Structure 1
Amino acid sequence: MAHWRALIVLGAAQFLMVLDTSVMNVSISQLVEDFDTEVTAIQAVITLYALMMAAFMAVGAKLGDILGRRRLFLLGLVVYATGSALTSVAPTVWVLAIGWSVIEGLGAALVLPAMAALVAESYRGRDRAVAYGVIGGLAGAGIAVGPLLGGWVTTYLTWRLVFAGEVVVVAAMLVGHRAIKEVPRTGPRPRMDGVGATLSATGLGLGVLGVLQSGTWGWVQPRNPPFTVFGFAPTLFVIGASALVLYAFVSWERRRVARRTDPLVHLTLLERPALRAGLLTMVSQNLILLGLFFAIPLYLQVVQGFDAFETGLRLLPVSATMLVASLGASRFARNVPPRRLVRLSLVTLAAAVVWLLATIDPEIDDSQFAGAMALLGLGMGLLVSQLGNVVQSSATEEERSEVGGLQYTAQNLGSALGTALIGSLLIGALAQSLTTHVEDDPRLSQEAQERTSVALEAGISFVPTDQVRTAAEEAGLPPAEVDALVDDYASAQLKGLKAAILAAGGVTLATFLVTTRLPTRPDTTPPAGDRGPGTAP
């Protein structure tokens, strides 16, 4: 048991940070109500949280090499708890964004790369594969507990208690910090690459911002942007600026290596096929998972009218099967190659998306929905169980923090893109579908169609049909036209949700293209020079 004490503390950090995100997703409707805001504002808060982690993971990894991974892990926990405390008392959505998205996001960016490196340092060979299977299982447990715990607390008490409770959990982890051991670093300490950190954070931020706002701004034809560029929506120009900044980042990193100064990221790491494939698959994994976990609660809460606890109950099948699959797959990993398990998981996810599309109806069929959720969790659990070990087994001891930074950058970039892309596609498809329905609806007068068109140009939100009915009645529409407009909006909602889920299915199929370089042997082993006791030759 003493051998696994460090894993208990380190795994608790993984559990806590996954729990955090799943609680926020299931509480979307309550947050909208409490802060008197819109779904798109909460979408932006969730996206910003993942973006802060993605943007600063590489910085956190480098700080781990400079200050020591154990020390940075503990410091990150303190920062994270500070953000949780502020979130628990946030009076406005702006304070929520500062406490949760910014401060907690920065704390997680310090904790997670150090955690990945410390797990790899603490366990070797098959123990390492088991440890990463447990970490994946705890991620599944966080997703399992999050919707149910968050839903119950949000419905019957207040979501704020979850974040207050996180402070207590972090305090307990700090008390047990002595279980974590760190291999002393040999050689000179690296230096921080400030220019590289700025360029990488700016490039990633611009890219995610462009995707996040695409639903509001439009991709090419301007919908409701703050400005236009040569008459076009600014979306593609912002994404193009992101590409230019990231190109400058790559050039700067190569220049630092040529001058024999420490880069933020050794880009040569990405030349390793297994590592590159693992990271790209991680981006897809989190894009799919977080995209669906943004869209599905909206279907349950906004369309079906369930409260947060009822939503958590209906998400329980995906959480339970994800936990079981991620823990159980570590046994299969001893005999089945990672590539085969990952491809099996992608086939399972694609089947789950097809099943889910068939269940998105005005009246929910609970048994069919539960089946689709269970299959989704099975596929995701198989996926998350493999990738941590694939990525970390591609690194030497000296590269642990840096590769951990890349690992969690990939995961959180996928999370940010998932919430931003799937959310913007949902809103964009909702607007397009509603426009078509209204124009083709013979029950609506020309005046009603024109007034709806003007309202759509000002922006659209994903709201309950009761709000649409109230707005139409306040606008003075006759009862028959109010009913027609509500029907059109309800149909557009379902089409928007199906478009978002279908996009997640498309990403699932596209991920097959990056699996060709995943390891074809069970129990992937570290590169030469990183063989410790118990590591297979």
Structure 2
Amino acid sequence: MPARTSPSTRWWALIVLALTQLVVVLDGTIVNIALPQAQADLGFSDGQRQWVVTAYALAFGALLLLGGRIADYWGRKRTYVVGMIGFGAASAFGGLAQSGAELIIARGLQGAFAAMLAPAALALLTVTFPSGRDRNVAFAVFGTVAGAGAAVGLVLGGVLTEFADWRWCLLVNLFFVVVGLVGAALFLSESRAGGENRYDWPGAVVVTLGLGSLVYGFSLAEIGWGSPWTIGFLAAGVLLLVLFVWIEATVAQPLLPLRVVTDRVRGGAFLIQAVAGSVMIGSTLYLTFHLQIVLGMPALWAGIASLPIPLATMVAAPFATRMLSKIGPRPLLIGGPLIVAASLLYLSRITADGAYAVEVLPALIVMGVGMGFIFVPLQNLALYGVAPHDAGAASATANSAMQIGGSIGLSVFTAIYAAALGGMEHAVGDAAQLASAYGATFVAAAIGMVLAAVIALVLVRGTKAQVISSEKDVLVHVE
């Protein structure tokens, strides 16, 4: 239809796709604020509580590569529509959940369908805006929405939990689903990759089982690192991931071409992305618990009180971009994690009767600045030296690293939290002990960020010239 290719229709398509990206990103954080009320309502344990977050991040990260392949091969609009319907159904199921197990299953299904939605939306944006100034504007809008999604999720989660019910943090997605489906019918056109396309089903199954086993093994560390179940699942996860590497090295059309991850600089960027994900997803969850459970903030104020992190990141990003062109990525990727580590160590000193403005706020501002110094160069290095036909896999790998890192990090932090409580999972009445346990998770997160700085020191050798080259590679991919 001519209307589908007209300039005005393209901008309507951008609105639809940007809203899709918003809902995918905000669903990673919108439930965080609601968790204390959901836990009280459904009566699930602290271990199940962390799986409400982990299930989404794990399914999203583990299936993202496959979701991108399905969109390319089966049809991007078709994948988008199926993903949107499935995401809406999973959200409705979660909003009506009557137990912790049902809520966890719903979150996993949300993540699985989000893994179809996210790459399909990005691919549709690429074909809708093939070149020129309009394309740069479209990607700037899309990227801004993605960057603001976490902040929107925190505030929206607080508003819905405070003035409606925690279930609306899931049911609100139905509004986005309706807009997405109507918008797809009116403004989106079908497209798919040409040539002979084969799915790497063995690779997809093995990597999903491997990552799932690894994350579940880390979650079992709460009952003991020496437990046969813990060791068994961790070992199985490692063996399955080794098998995945062998499969990818032998199949004609691998899910993840190994050349994407074996480059020294790019591989280092993926590792840093995983550590950053563990901190952003894991430690910030325990921050919201401290704000609500220990400091007694209502859900809305807890969401607002968490905003300094994403806001400081958005403020720091333009400065980091200018520094990147002058000094290259390596100093930023060494300094940024160390700044975040310092903020986390400051945050670990929280007490049950401490003031938010003194014990929490300064750390959040500094953390956000450090994260800005991390994410800006990572976006460049993730596609450094990547051939155009591998750019999609590289981008998906970076997103997967973030989500899987968050899943593993959250499992590790939960184990540390449980150990700090001395195994007293429901010691919610002892605010001082809870604050101390949350502080222990922040110390662990700080150690992780120091490790990220070491990774950058050893592996990331990108110079100013290489960053410029990386930007060209990105343009080749998206144009």
TM-score, length-scaled by structure 2: 0.86
Secondary structure in 2 matching 1:263: coil
Is the Cα contact below 8 Å between 2:16 and 2:179 reproduced in 1? no
Alignment of 1:242-261 (within 5 A): 242-256=237-251, 261=252
The CA distance in 2 between the partners of 1:367 and 1:70, in whole Å, is: 47
**Aligned counterpart, 2:428:** 464
The CA distance in 2 between the partners of 1:533 and 1:496, in whole Å, is: 45
1:284 and 1:130, CA in 2 relative to 1: closer, same or farther beyond 3 A? farther
Secondary structure in 1 matching 2:28: helix
How many residue pairs were aligned? 466
Q: 1:337 aligns with which of 322, 328, 334?
A: 328
Is the Cα contact below 8 Å between 1:133 and 1:326 reproduced in 2? no
Are 1:521 and 2:453 counterparts? Answer: no
**Aligned counterpart, 1:214:** 221
The CA distance in 1 between the partners of 2:356 and 2:103, in whole Å, is: 33
1:330 and 1:218, CA in 2 relative to 1: closer, same or farther beyond 3 A? same
The CA distance in 1 between the partners of 2:409 and 2:142, in whole Å, is: 22
Q: Give, in angstroms, the shift of residue 462 of structure 1.
A: 4.6
What are the ranges of 5 or more consecutive residues in structure 1 without an aligned counterpart? 223-228, 432-458, 466-488
Secondary structure in 1 matching 2:172: helix
Alignment of 1:398-477 (within 5 A): 398-431=389-422, 459-465=423-429
Q: 2:355 aligns with which of 335, 340, 365?
A: 365
**Aligned counterpart, 2:343:** 352
Q: Give, in angstroms, the shift of residue 274 of structure 1.
A: 3.5
Q: 1:151 aligns with which of 135, 142, 158?
A: 158
1:340 and 1:530, CA in 2 relative to 1: closer, same or farther beyond 3 A? closer
Q: Give, in angstroms, the shift of residue 271 of structure 1.
A: 2.1
The CA distance in 2 between the partners of 1:7 and 1:329, in whole Å, is: 27
Q: 2:33 aligns with which of 13, 26, 34?
A: 26
**Aligned counterpart, 1:62:** 69
- Match for 1:275: what amino acid? R
Q: Give, in angstroms, the shift of residue 144 of structure 1.
A: 1.7
**Aligned counterpart, 2:440:** 499
Is the Cα contact below 8 Å between 1:290 and 1:419 reproduced in 2? yes
Bigger Rg, which one = 1
Is the Cα contact below 8 Å between 2:330 and 2:462 reproduced in 1? yes
The CA distance in 2 between the partners of 1:164 and 1:49, in whole Å, is: 16
Is the Cα contact below 8 Å between 1:126 and 1:534 reproduced in 2? no
Aligned-pair identity in percent equals: 27
**Aligned counterpart, 1:105:** 111
Alignment of 1:15-414 (within 5 A): 15-99=22-106, 101-117=107-123, 122=129, 137-177=144-184, 185-188=193-196, 190-215=197-222, 217-220=223-226, 222=227, 229=228, 234-256=229-251, 261-326=252-317, 329-330=320-321, 333=324, 335=326, 337-358=328-349, 360-368=350-358, 369-392=360-383, 394-414=385-405
Secondary structure in 2 matching 1:399: helix
Is the Cα contact below 8 Å between 1:394 and 1:527 reproduced in 2? no
Secondary structure in 2 matching 1:246: helix
Q: Give, in angstroms, the shift of residue 402 of structure 1.
A: 2.3
- Match for 2:448: what amino acid? V
Q: Give, in angstroms, the shift of residue 58 of structure 1.
A: 1.9
What are the ranges of 5 or more consecutive residues in structure 2 without an aligned counterpart? 1-6
Q: Give, in angstroms, the shift of residue 295 of structure 1.
A: 1.3
Is the Cα contact below 8 Å between 2:30 and 2:156 reproduced in 1? yes
Q: Give, in angstroms, the shift of residue 135 of structure 1.
A: 5.0
* TM-superposition CA deviations, 1:182-225 (whole Å, max 9, x none): 8763322x21122222211111111100111211x2012x5xxx
Secondary structure in 2 matching 1:27: helix
Secondary structure in 1 matching 2:193: coil
1:530 and 1:182, CA in 2 relative to 1: closer, same or farther beyond 3 A? farther
- Match for 2:259: what amino acid? T
Q: Give, in angstroms, the shift of residue 266 of structure 1.
A: 1.4
Secondary structure in 1 matching 2:165: coil
The CA distance in 2 between the partners of 1:531 and 1:153, in whole Å, is: 39
Q: Give, in angstroms, the shift of residue 427 of structure 1.
A: 1.0
* TM-superposition CA deviations, 1:67-105 (whole Å, max 9, x none): 134442343222212212222222222222222x22211
The CA distance in 1 between the partners of 2:151 and 2:471, in whole Å, is: 34
The CA distance in 2 between the partners of 1:87 and 1:242, in whole Å, is: 28
* TM-superposition CA deviations, 1:215-260 (whole Å, max 9, x none): 1x2012x5xxxxxx4xxxx31232112111111221222232xxxx
TM-score, length-scaled by structure 1: 0.78
Is the Cα contact below 8 Å between 1:155 and 1:308 reproduced in 2? yes
**Aligned counterpart, 1:511:** 452
